């Protein structure tokens, strides 16, 4: 693809050789004459000048001292992501149903759907147009899969779940398993029936081996555009808002509410019925206590989660503990010397 064509497709301006052919995308370090790379920010300017990339996607203020070929964009990372999809398109599988798939007679399969080997689709389920169902997927009864969805191999969707259009479910993820609900009676735990549902909005992405549990009663809900990384657990009756991003190995206990545009780092643990308000940021490894509220726009870290400034102050104080311990030991030694001197003086006085 020529630089001129790519710039026009991105809605951006270019400088240099607009007829240069670009074959692939690459990093600044490894890019060659036929490669496209990008400059994320000012910190990368010096490295970008040394890059052998045939074309750079660069910020508007990038100094083009060598008159090299580049495309200017207000958000270079975003423009580069779009360009990668153009230079490296993923060929969709051919529509059709593999002969080993087992599909209930009452299931509805939309036009252009691809269903891979050894899939099963239950009674009353609906698969939207152009959806892709990978090998070994198991879709239960009364499930709705929106148009353009992609289910990679070995995804399991339990009964009575709804998945919005263009959502991506990666291998091994499980949607709609029972929530962790038990009651104690007579010295034994008894299962609390989990009869709710899961509803996932449009344009979501759920990573490999992640689990979204059905509600005990009502709905476990994940909003439009939300992205869950690998090995994330969303428990029963959680409500995750729109355009939330959650990094790997994070766990949400039952009844947690996360409002729109929150950002949650990896290995975060969130207790029952906690609330994370809009655009809050939880640093990696944070622990949010049961029923705690993280206020809108607040950045928190640590366990228990606290405002970032407070967390950093406490870390600084912890780092000073060895020094403080030495100071206390020295003060104790001096005090003992003073007490010893005083005792000796008292004995001489008598």
The whole-angstrom separation of Cα 211 and Cα 28 is 36
Nearest to 269 by CA among 296, 300, 295, 297: 300
DSSP 8-state symbol, 93: P
Q: Do strands 188-191 and 156-157 pair parallel, antiparallel, or not at all (unpaired)?
A: unpaired
Counts of helices then strands in the chain (DSSP H, E): 5, 39
Which position among 152, 170, 233, 236 bears the catalytic label?
236
Q: 132-151 burial by CB neighbour count: b if 16+ within 10 A, else e?
A: bbbbbbbbbbbbbbbbbbbb
Q: Do strands 102-103 and 96-97 pair parallel, antiparallel, or not at all (unpaired)?
A: unpaired
Peptide bond into 279 cis (omega under 30): no
The whole-angstrom separation of Cα 252 and Cα 258 is 10
Which residues make beta-bridge pairs with 287?
269
Nearest to 259 by CA among 286, 222, 228, 227: 222
The whole-angstrom separation of Cα 47 and Cα 66 is 14
* Residue 243 designated active-site: no
Nearest to 13 by CA among 57, 58, 71, 59: 71
Sheet hosting strand 197-200, strand order edge to edge? 108-109, 126-127, 144-145, 161-163, 197-200, 219-222, 239-240, 257-258, 275-276, 293-294
Is residue 166 within 8 Å of 203, Cβ to Cβ? yes
Active site residue ranges: 236
């Amino acid at each position: 693809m020529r630089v001129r064509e790519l710039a026009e497709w991105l809605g951006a301006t270019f400088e240099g050789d607009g007829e240069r052919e670009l074959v692939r995308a690459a990093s600044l370090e490894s890019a060659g004459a036929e490669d496209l790379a990008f400059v994320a920010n000012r910190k990368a300017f010096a490295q970008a000048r040394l890059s052998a990339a045939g074309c750079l996607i660069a910020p508007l203020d990038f100094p083009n001292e060598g008159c090299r070929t580049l495309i200017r964009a207000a958000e270079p990372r975003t423009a580069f992501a779009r360009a990668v999809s153009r230079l490296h398109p993923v060929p969709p599988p051919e529509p059709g149903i593999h002969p080993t798939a087992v599909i209930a007679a009452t299931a509805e399969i939309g036009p252009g759907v691809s269903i891979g080997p050894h899939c099963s689709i239950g009674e009353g389920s609906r698969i939207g147009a152009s959806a892709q169902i990978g090998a070994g997927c198991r879709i239960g009864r009364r499930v709705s899969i929106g148009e353009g969805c992609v289910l990679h191999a070995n995804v399991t969707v339990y009964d009575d779940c709804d998945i919005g259009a263009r959502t991506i479910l990666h291998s091994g993820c499980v949607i709609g398993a029972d929530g962790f609900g038990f009651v104690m009676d007579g010295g034994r735990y008894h299962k609390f029936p989990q009869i709710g549902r899961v509803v996932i909005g449009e344009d979501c992405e759920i990573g490999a081996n992640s689990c979204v549990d059905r509600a005990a009663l009502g709905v476990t809900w994940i909003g439009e555009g939300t992205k869950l990384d690998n090995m994330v657990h969303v428990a029963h009756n959680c409500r995750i808002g729109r355009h939330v991003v959650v990094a790997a190995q994070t766990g949400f206990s039952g009844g947690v509410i996360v409002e729109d545009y929150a950002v949650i780092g990896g290995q975060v643990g969130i207790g029952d019925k906690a609330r994370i308000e809009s655009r809050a940021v939880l640093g990696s490894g944070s622990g949010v206590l049961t029923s705690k509220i993280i206020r809108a726009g607040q950045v928190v870290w640590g366990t228990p989660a606290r405002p970032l400034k407070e967390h950093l102050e406490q870390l600084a104080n912890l780092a000073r503990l060895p020094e403080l311990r030495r100071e206390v030991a020295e003060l104790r030694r001096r005090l003992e010397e003073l007490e010893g001197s005083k005792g000796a003086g008292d004995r001489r006085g008598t």
